[in-house]
């Protein structure tokens, strides 16, 4: 057993505790805690430990609002307040980007929000006394934790989970995904063979669509007629609808996504040509195009997302071209050269290759969305090497209580 003081929370939500001069990562620790640890050895090249006893709690430590917070791995920051979470997450981004910020950079830290729910969830199937249930994994474990009512997902999704547990045979199901949109909920049963499904189409007035995704990642409807649901998004003074299918990606938190879209429109102003790389279903570019009348040229590796973006643009009457392209390798850059704004929304690994070639694209502005502060700052450093300057930096917390943060950065030529 080791005793020491927790120092700081790192991106991801684990806390550094220095034991015999060596950093140890600990789940559910709070800076200032005096802890007794059980050392677990190295995992992924880093020493880790578990809390055996909190000898003296930090002044920052609060009672977790979730009754199973200490067991569940879904939320890493349940033991500090929402306000302290906002400060910690803002500090992650400030620390990562500090060499790129100057006195002219607009800095917008996290604004703390209460009662913001996630609209996208994935439950795994576990067994309790032989009875199946849907839950989340414990930290660094395949042990599943049961929730009476998960506090971070929407009440409608909690009701969906209870419906599934009561009415669906989960015996051969591996996991269940659900996406709560403005006019309904997609429910995707992930299983090697088609499961038995009661498939109620309405829950407390909310339409449901049931899908089966097999081991080859092919998604099929349980019923022949399976309509799509929609995301309602701000587009200047109006709102638009984007159709969203069961395989389409949407940001996991609706209000935060709307803030992200509004910020893009505020930073961009009036434009004629938009380049949208890692475009998804057009979540970021199509509202901007609808508000400004601009053309959109987008690219994305996922073919289903490209089809969805094209269909959404057509439904909105937007002049656009969306194509399938691997943006981590060589691709045809010509359609994206000289855009009024280039929107980059890469996955967690960032957009290193693209940022290294930004002088070939020559956009008037770049707006980059980064879900990993370190990758975002690395990509930003590459942009500065190609003559761009960081004009504004905003931090958004799309996953309260989780150890994740979203970074928005605005870049213009020096």
Hey, which residues are catalytic here? 371
Residue 289 is inside which H or E element, if any? Answer: helix 285-292
Distance separating alpha carbons of residues 396 and 259, to the nearest angstrom? 8
Q: What angle do CA 386, 265, 364 make, to 5 degrees?
A: 25
45: left (phi over 0), alpha (psi -120 to 50) or beta: left
Strands (E), 246-397: 273-277, 295-300, 320-324, 341-344, 366-370, 388-396
C-beta atoms surrounding 395 within 10 Å? 22
Burial class (CB in 10 A: 0-12, 13-18, 19+), 2: middle
Strands (E), 191-309: 202-203, 206-213, 219-221, 229-235, 238-244, 273-277, 295-300
What residues are paired with 121 via a beta bridge?
178
Q: Are 86 and 397 in contact (CB under 8 A)?
A: yes
């Amino acid at each position: 057993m080791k005793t020491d003081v927790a120092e700081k929370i790192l991106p991801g939500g684990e806390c550094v505790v220095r034991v015999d001069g060596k950093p140890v990562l600990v789940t559910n620790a709070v800076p200032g805690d005096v802890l007794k640890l059980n050392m677990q050895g190295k995992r992924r090249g880093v020493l880790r430990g578990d809390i055996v006893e909190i000898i003296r709690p930090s002044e920052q430590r609060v009672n977790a609002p979730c009754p199973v917070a200490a067991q569940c791995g879904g939320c890493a920051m349940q033991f500090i307040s929402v306000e302290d979470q906002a400060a910690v997450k803002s500090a992650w981004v400030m620390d990562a980007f500090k060499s790129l910020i100057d006195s002219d950079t607009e800095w917008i830290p996290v604004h703390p929000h209460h009662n913001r729910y996630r609209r996208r969830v994935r439950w795994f199937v576990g067994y309790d006394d032989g009875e199946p249930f849907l839950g989340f994994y414990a930290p660094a474990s395949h042990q599943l934790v049961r929730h009476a009512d998960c506090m971070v997902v929407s009440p409608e999704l909690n009701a969906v989970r209870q419906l599934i547990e009561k009415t669906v045979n989960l015996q051969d199901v591996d996991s269940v995904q659900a996406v709560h949109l403005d006019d309904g909920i997609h429910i995707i049963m992930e299983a090697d063979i088609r499961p038995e499904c009661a498939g109620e189409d309405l829950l407390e007035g909310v339409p449901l669509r049931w899908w089966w995704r097999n081991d080859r990642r092919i998604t099929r409807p349980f019923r022949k007629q399976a309509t799509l649901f929609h995301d309602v998004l701000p587009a200047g003074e109006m709102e638009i609808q984007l159709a969203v299918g069961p395989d389409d990606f949407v940001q996991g938190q609706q209000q935060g996504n709307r803030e992200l879209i509004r910020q893009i429109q505020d930073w961009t102003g009036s434009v004629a040509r938009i380049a949208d790389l890692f475009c998804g279903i057009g979540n970021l570019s199509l509202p901007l195009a609808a508000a400004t009348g601009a053309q959109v040229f987008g690219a994305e590796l996922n073919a289903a997302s490209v089809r969805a973006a094209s269909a959404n643009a057509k439904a909105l009457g937007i002049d656009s071209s969306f194509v399938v392209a691997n943006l981590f390798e060589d691709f045809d850059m010509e359609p994206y050269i000289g855009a009024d704004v280039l929107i980059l929304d890469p996955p967690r690994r960032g957009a290193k290759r693209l940022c290294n070639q930004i002088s070939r694209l020559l956009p008037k502005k770049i707006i980059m969305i980064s879900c990993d502060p370190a990758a975002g700052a690395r990509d930003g450093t590459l942009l500065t090497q190609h003559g761009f300057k960081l004009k504004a930096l905003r931090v958004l917390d799309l996953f309260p209580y989780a150890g994740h943060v979203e970074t928005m950065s605005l870049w213009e030529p020096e």
